[in-house]
């Protein structure tokens, strides 16, 4: 489903803002109430609202007599009374974002904004912030776009993790590939999801060693024995706190095996 509607009230209104000082306005204005209860009152002059209240705790309306709309947040109040109403309506709304393809279920546009969602049916897909959405010629068999995500290797997977799992791809490539760096531990690092993807010791909770898998590709070995990653901000160890320095890069044929 589409997100909650945007409410719009237009007409000859008195606007009273009590956000410290009391200010009163009268004119033909348009009031917009967003789904998060942010209230914006616009007139014909300039781009800035005449009055506004961000994320009000409550927004109520009364259609008996002159239409009134009251928004409250803590000690702040914004009151709009329509003496002559040009219109009042609810319009469906969703987050706007860059188009990345078309929904295979309803044919509407898929857009990227805090993930990817359909502007038609509202289907949503979680997408890592560093993911690159592929062009439509690379769509998955299910009809959804594919994405390129770097987690040790560059993985090409479906947008829908239920169709093709990024976690499973990373696990297949790197589960138990690295030894736990603790000197008194003989465990391997397993690829797990704990909020994000981590490489954590198989002997947890006896050994609580674990590292977030960074966005980047493995390109060598650190002096501590863990892998290094080439990331957008440069080369770093899997252990972000490591200070042992970086060793030579992996041999080309060894890197290809991974």
**CATH number reported for the structural domain that contains residue 33 in this entry:** 2.70.180.20
pLDDT band at residue 255 under the 50/70/90 scheme: very low
Residue 250 pLDDT:
46
pTM over 0.85: no
65 and 110 housed in the same domain: no
Mean pLDDT in residue range 61-77:
88
Mean pLDDT in residue range 92-112:
92
Residue 61 pLDDT:
86
Residue 71 in this model has a pLDDT that exceeds 90? yes
41 and 55 housed in the same domain: yes
224 and 196 housed in the same domain: yes
157 and 204 housed in the same domain: no
* Longest CA span, the chain: 80
Alpha-carbon gap, residue 25 to 31, rounded angstroms: 13
120-144 per-residue burial string, b: 16 or more CB within 10 A, e: under 16: beebebebeeebebbeeeebbeebb
74 and 141 housed in the same domain: no
66 and 129 housed in the same domain: no
Question: How many folded domains does the chain comprise?
Answer: 3
Domain span at 158: 98-171
pLDDT band at residue 245 under the 50/70/90 scheme: low
Mean pLDDT in residue range 79-86:
93
Averaged pLDDT of the chain? 89
Residue 240 pLDDT:
92
Mean pLDDT in residue range 193-212:
93
Per DSSP (E only), the strands in 34-173 are 39-42, 51-53, 58-62, 67-73, 76-93, 98-102, 109-112, 116-118, 124-125, 132-133, 146-152, 154-158
70 and 88 housed in the same domain: yes
Contacts of 126 (CB under 8 A, 6+ apart): 115, 161
Tell me: the pLDDT tens digits for 120-141? Answer: 888 999 999 999 998 877 899 9
Tell me: the pLDDT tens digits for 214-225? Answer: 999 999 999 999
Tell me: the pLDDT tens digits for 128-177? Answer: 999 999 887 789 999 999 999 999 999 999 999 999 999 999 999 999 99
* % of residues, the chain, pLDDT over 90: 77
229 and 196 housed in the same domain: yes
Residue 247 pLDDT:
46
Residue 254 pLDDT:
37
Domain boundary among 71, 93, 115: 93
Alpha-carbon gap, residue 34 to 42, rounded angstroms: 13
């Amino acid at each position: 489903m589409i997100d909650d509607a945007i409410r719009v009230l237009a007409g000859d209104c008195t606007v009273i803002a009590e956000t410290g000082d009391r200010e009163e306005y009268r004119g033909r204005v348009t009031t917009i109430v967003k789904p998060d209860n942010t209230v914006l009152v616009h007139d014909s002059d300039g781009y800035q609202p005449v009055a506004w209240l961000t994320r009000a705790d409550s927004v109520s309306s009364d259609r008996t007599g002159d239409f009134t709309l009251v928004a409250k947040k803590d000690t702040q109040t914004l009151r709009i009374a329509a003496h002559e109403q040009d219109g009042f309506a609810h319009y469906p709304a969703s987050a706007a974002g860059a188009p990345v393809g078309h929904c295979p279920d309803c044919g509407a546009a898929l857009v990227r904004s805090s993930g990817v969602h359909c502007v038609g049916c509202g289907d949503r897909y979680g997408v890592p912030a560093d993911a690159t959405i592929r062009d439509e010629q690379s769509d998955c068999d299910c009809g959804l776009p594919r994405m390129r995500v770097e987690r040790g290797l560059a993985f090409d997977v479906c947008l829908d993790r239920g169709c093709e799992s990024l976690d499973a791809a990373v696990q297949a490539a790197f589960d138990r590939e690295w030894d736990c760096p603790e000197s008194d531990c003989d465990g391997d690092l397993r690829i797990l999801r704990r909020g994000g993807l981590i490489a954590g010791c198989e002997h947890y909770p006896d050994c609580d060693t674990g590292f977030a898998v960074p966005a980047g590709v493995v390109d060598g070995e650190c002096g501590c024995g863990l892998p290094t990653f080439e990331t957008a901000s440069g080369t770093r160890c899997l252990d972000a706190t490591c200070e042992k320095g970086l060793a030579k890069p992996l041999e080309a044929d060894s890197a290809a095996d991974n």
